[in-house]
Structure 1
Amino acid sequence: MPKSLKTLCLAIQFLTRLPTPTIKDFHPSLLSQSAAWFPAVGLLIGLILYGVNMTGQSIHPLFAALMTLITWAWITGGLHLDGLADLADALGASHRSPERFLAVLKDPHLGSFGVITLIIQITTKLCLIYLITLQHATPLLILIPAITRIGPLYWSKTLPPLGGGMAEQFAWNIRYPIIIFWGFTLAALAAYIHPLLVLALLTLPIWQQYLKQKIHGVTGDCLGAGIEVCESLILLLTILVFHSALP
């Protein structure tokens, strides 16, 4: 199997539950190289979400939103939701004791901060997906997962890793031209739908600045949490851009 196809399959395996061929002669460096394919995998996820949403609309917009959300969580295996919950627990527990941040982040148990954050995130996403369904802005579902999956490339490249892990590994083989290529490509597609949607890419440096100011670095959980947060922000931006289409 060609190396490029191996890294694409690894990217799909890492970010989704979709079936892919078995990779023989696996080496850890291949996983970090696969990060260059993350936005492409995001497009694949987006196409599936779009198809589910359009199918669900034949029953009811709310049903379409619910099925889209369930598919979104299933196809990613809850990977990014897990990162968001872990980060929320760590930030909550380290409010008075910053030195506890990494210790809590590594704890596999889910705390009250994580539970509350998950409930808020899932409820928020359901409402936002429902509203963009009403606005007939569902083509944006194709782009949103792709735009947010530029994030791990950008954040791991521009922030110091807090200990060894995925954030450090991804930074090894990511080059700025790859980030720039995906940024311009997806910005052009967003602008084709509506010029203001180019602002969606600004969610990525916003999260980068938050991590820089709040924890002074990045971890694998921060990457996953950033994807979730930025997806909600872009959904919200979509609603604001197309608000006149609401009934």
Structure 2
Amino acid sequence: MGRFWYNLKVRPFWLAVGFLTTFPVPNLGEVKDGEMKAASAFYPLAGYLIGGVLALVAWLTAALPDGLQGALLLAAWLACTGMLHLDGLLDSADALLSMKPPAERLRILGDVHMGSFAFGVGFVVLLLKWQLLASSPSPWLLLCLPALVRFALLLPMNLFPAARKEGLGVRSREGRIFPALLFALPAIYFFPWVALAVVAAMLLLASWAARRLGGGLSGDVYGALVEIGEVAGLLVGVWWIKYEM
């Protein structure tokens, strides 16, 4: 009975944490068909774990110069995700910005080498993120934003087909939006404009990327969506806080 309860409730949560973060998780063994889809309901919770680390780092480094605090926050963010999403952004930049047909862009997505588009886009995104984190965003925003983005990711996952027939991106498709929404509701309630900006930015990018890839999305594009969603959320969140003040 205990094992059944673990498989029903706890295992999907740990799968989500193990997939989206570098936090230690129990030995989960082989991932079976349908389990990654079930784990998608817990994506916002994995986001809150990342956000909790960011909020703690922000509190511990509050007395440091803004630029240094922003750099430490960015380093912590990258460490919590193992640069999983950044890697997807770099691969997606090379593929989506190339003047090639969709089939060739899909091939480029699988290439481990980085081109000029990857370096350019990666530099700009990291620079933007650092500057925004150096603007002293609210620790509450840092707590909630990763959860908002990982909930919003389920929307393009459901709306667009998979560009490839294999991979974790395929196995995670058609995520469980409504259970995930329950976990994301507190973040949406406290930061509605940030949530709207995140969803809009990610859906616009997803729509454009799908057209560039022949109608579907890949796991690398999901990573790019997360990175762009986080930048959009920080932009609106920092602007909103300064405007309110």
Q: How far did 1:72 drift?
A: 0.4
Q: Which residue of 2 aligns with 1:163?
A: 164
Matches within 5 A, 1:1-247: 1=3, 2-3=6-7, 4-24=9-29, 26-93=31-98, 95-131=99-135, 133=136, 137-164=138-165, 165-171=167-173, 174-182=175-183, 184-191=185-192, 196-200=193-197, 201-215=199-213, 216-244=215-243
Q: How far did 1:25 drift?
A: 5.7
CA distance in 2, matches of 1:57, 1:72: 16
Gap change, CA 1:205 and 1:178, over 3 Å in 2: farther
CA distance in 2, matches of 1:89, 1:36: 31
Moved more, 209-218 or 120-129: 209-218
CA distance in 1, matches of 2:27, 2:129: 33
| Contact 2:160-2:217 at 8 Å conserved across structures | yes
Give runs of ≥4 in structure 1 deviating > 6 Å.
Answer: none
Q: How far did 1:81 drift?
A: 0.3
| Contact 2:88-2:220 at 8 Å conserved across structures | yes
- Opposite residue 116 of structure 1, the aligned amino acid is G
CA distance in 1, matches of 2:17, 2:96: 30
Gap change, CA 1:210 and 1:169, over 3 Å in 2: same
Q: How far did 1:103 drift?
A: 0.7
CA distance in 1, matches of 2:28, 2:12: 9
- Opposite residue 102 of structure 1, the aligned amino acid is L
RMSD of aligned residue pairs (Cα, Å): 2.1
CA distance in 2, matches of 1:187, 1:67: 26
Q: How far did 1:102 drift?
A: 0.5
CA distance in 1, matches of 2:122, 2:202: 21
| Contact 1:159-1:212 at 8 Å conserved across structures | yes
Partner deviation per Cα, 1:17-53 (whole Å, 9 max, x = no partner): 1112112464243233212111110011001101101
- Opposite residue 202 of structure 2, the aligned amino acid is L
Gap change, CA 1:182 and 1:112, over 3 Å in 2: same
- Opposite residue 121 of structure 1, the aligned amino acid is V
What is the identity percentage for the equivalent residue pairs of Structure 1 and Structure 2?
25
| Contact 1:151-1:226 at 8 Å conserved across structures | no
| Contact 2:23-2:80 at 8 Å conserved across structures | yes
CA distance in 2, matches of 1:98, 1:213: 8
| Contact 2:37-2:176 at 8 Å conserved across structures | no
SS at match of 2:28: coil
- TM-score, structure 2 length as denominator? 0.87
Partner deviation per Cα, 1:161-220 (whole Å, 9 max, x = no partner): 111223321125x334235435544321324xxxx3342343333333333444322100
CA distance in 2, matches of 1:16, 1:150: 15
CA distance in 1, matches of 2:69, 2:97: 34
Q: How far did 1:119 drift?
A: 1.0
- TM-score, structure 1 length as denominator? 0.87
CA distance in 2, matches of 1:91, 1:34: 28
Q: Which runs of 5+ in 1 are unaligned?
A: none
